[in-house]
Amino acid sequence: MAIKTIDAKQADELIKSGAVIIDIRSQDEYVRKHIDGAICIPVSEMNAEKIPANSTIIFSCLSGMRTQSNAETLSKCACNCSNVYILEGGMNAWEKCGLPIEKNAACSLDVMRQVQIAAGSLILIGVLLGFFVSKWFFLLSGFVGAGLLFAGLTGFCGMAVLLMKMPWNKV
């Protein structure tokens, strides 16, 4: 079954008519901010039993990229549904249209933004200390850069794992 894409306004009309919106992001991402009324079923836990049969389903993520890249998996899991759609532009498009979202103000920044802030800060500090204190501090920037390269190549980010254990990231 091919999954069709729809825009946020079309999705809103379908939801008002009884369609179910499923957010395929991780539970952590979902808790921070999600479309009002969405059900969270992370793509890693997706299976046909978790999806309501004989219903209209709209899959969503943050920007629409994750749903597009997992369209084949989502299609297989939604085989018992009458209509299956992907929300084009994801929650970002939904929010841009002024449609309702639920936001948890108590949650900190998402982990990837924390990684970007921490990595950027460490690289900048390493460069500044390298110029003004000792050339050995350039190794700090090189180490962080190597860590980012490793994370990009393998999909494992040690800094993200470490940041997830911090008390401000406990949801």
CA 141, CA 147: separation in Å to the nearest integer? 10
Q: Looking at 40, 61, 77, 79, which residue is catalytic?
A: 61
**What's the sign of the alpha-carbon dihedral 123, 155, 49, 68?**
positive
Query: CA nearest 118: which of 85, 159, 83?
Result: 159
**What's the sign of the alpha-carbon dihedral 26, 5, 69, 95?**
negative
Tokens 């997830």 sit on residue: 164
- The amino acid sitting at 80 is N
Pairing of strands 4-6, 33-35: unpaired
Residue 61 a catalytic site member: yes
Contact 67, 29 (CB under 8 A): no
- Write out the catalytic residue numbers: 61
